[in-house]
Amino acid sequence: MNKPLRRVAIFCGVLILALLIQANWLQYMKADELATDKDNRRVLINQYSTPRGDIIVGGKAVTDSVESKGSDLKFERRYRNGPMYAPVTGFASQAVGMTFLENTYDSLLSGQDDRLAFERFTDVVAGKERRGGDVITTIDPRAQEAGYEGLKDLGARGSVVALEPSTGKVLALVSTPSYDPSSLAGNSLKESERFTELSKDKAEPLANRALRETFPPGSTFKILTAAAALEHGVVTDVDARTDAVSPYPLPQSANKVSSEAGDGVCDKASLKTAMQYSCNNVFLDAAVKVGADRMRETAEKFGFNEDVYSSDFGDLRAAKSLYPENLDKPGTALTGMGQGSLTSTPMQMAMITAAFVNDGKVMQPYLVDELRSPDLSTLEKHEPRLMSEAVSESTAQKVREMMEHTAEEGSARRALIDGITVGGKTGTAQRGVDVRDRVPYGWFVSYGVGPEGKSVAVAVFIDPTDMDISREQISGGSLAAPIARDVMRAVLQK
């Protein structure tokens, strides 16, 4: 072979070798990345080639799949009571993607999970189409409906979270205003336009206010301030008068903080009386005496300053509730009544309330109880998990005593239920520094314990921006307490 031909042959050999290396690189090294690339149409075709498994609430499916017309994506998702369950299910949209449980458990719901490999093989042998597994949630449908209808009837932006204190099961997870996930399910221009419309809506219907947004918790945080004061020995007798004057002079400031109940009731009131009438001065003073570091330490034991709450399944993720570091005395004092730079999710406030029912123990909240294969066998079952022992059993008992007194004799009366032991705390939270033209938030936290020991903890958050209501009418006791009562009743009085 002459020299020019030999060079051409070598060059062609190098090209062939490069092609083989590239083909093997794509097939073995880049296969997973390419297979899951959002721009790979085959991924979508595979996801929607068969009916998805279902998301189950109270033993019944709240999802379904129907044949999609005129598309290579064979099936699309449908939702029952879609707006009510949207904060739980999220959406599976051929046009704009997936969120929440639909996204977290996509591989199981679409039948592609590795744990279903044997069933996929037997289905192929039997000539059956691929089947998806089911996700069994912890949601109590009656509690979810009570929370959703309560907020919807008010016309409020808001959320409701209900937990089972002894396990951390999420019994209700509500956010309003909401949307129908079915309206986003298809793959036409209509679904994309609907998503854009929802994204631009000032009321933010796509937001999950229960988990993903934080707000100043206002006076509901006083239950944690009380726990910190008891745990660190600042207060030893909840019935003893304090030396906290009203109005209370904010440290290092000429400002004085008053209480709506009035100076006559709140001046040097006991911790129990202060809880009953929501006296700001006593909790401001308690936070200052506990100190910034110990207040933050107590808050962190309840879950503050954590990035996410995620169960073993990874089904529940919440925004960080913030108790800031390096607070000065005025800033520390303001956190005592749930203001200043303190922020919390409704989920976090429900966790705090549940911990007092559970003798000071904070359980990991979780939304999915079980993962099930298409043949109805259990693939995985959630086991309750202790997050922390936030306060002692004695401290928890004293906080419950004050919360129950507040329900019986104070601002939480509207949450009372015959035959049920109820404890509660109201909250009205100012938003920002300049609050003159901005309506405050309404909060309510409570728990109910039935005669047989079954219990539930509830947090209700209300943003009355869209409500036709005066500033004077906004309070957690009047707006949020009846919703909490209905949710507790739904769980405990079936």
Q: Report how far apart, in Å, the C-alpha atoms of 374 and of each of 24, 104, 118, 314 are.
A: 35, 18, 11, 21
Are 157 and 176 in contact, with CB atoms under 8 Å apart? yes
219 tagged catalytic: yes
> Catalytic residue among 219, 246, 270, 311, which?
219
Can you say whether the dihedral through the CA atoms of 212, 294, 431, 302 is positive or negative? positive
Half-sphere exposure of 187 (CA within 13 A, CB side): 15
Are 276 and 287 in contact, with CB atoms under 8 Å apart? no
Phi, psi of 444 (to 5 degrees): -155, 130
Report which of 154, 114, 158, 149 is spatially closest to residue 133, judged by C-alpha positions.
Answer: 114
* Cα(188)–Cα(349) distance, integer angstroms: 40
* Cα(301)–Cα(479) distance, integer angstroms: 30
Are 327 and 335 in contact, with CB atoms under 8 Å apart? yes
Within 136-188, residue ranges assigned H as helices are 141-154
Phi, psi of 431 (to 5 degrees): -110, 115
Tokens matching residue 361: 């123990």
Question: Active-site residues: which are they?
Answer: 219
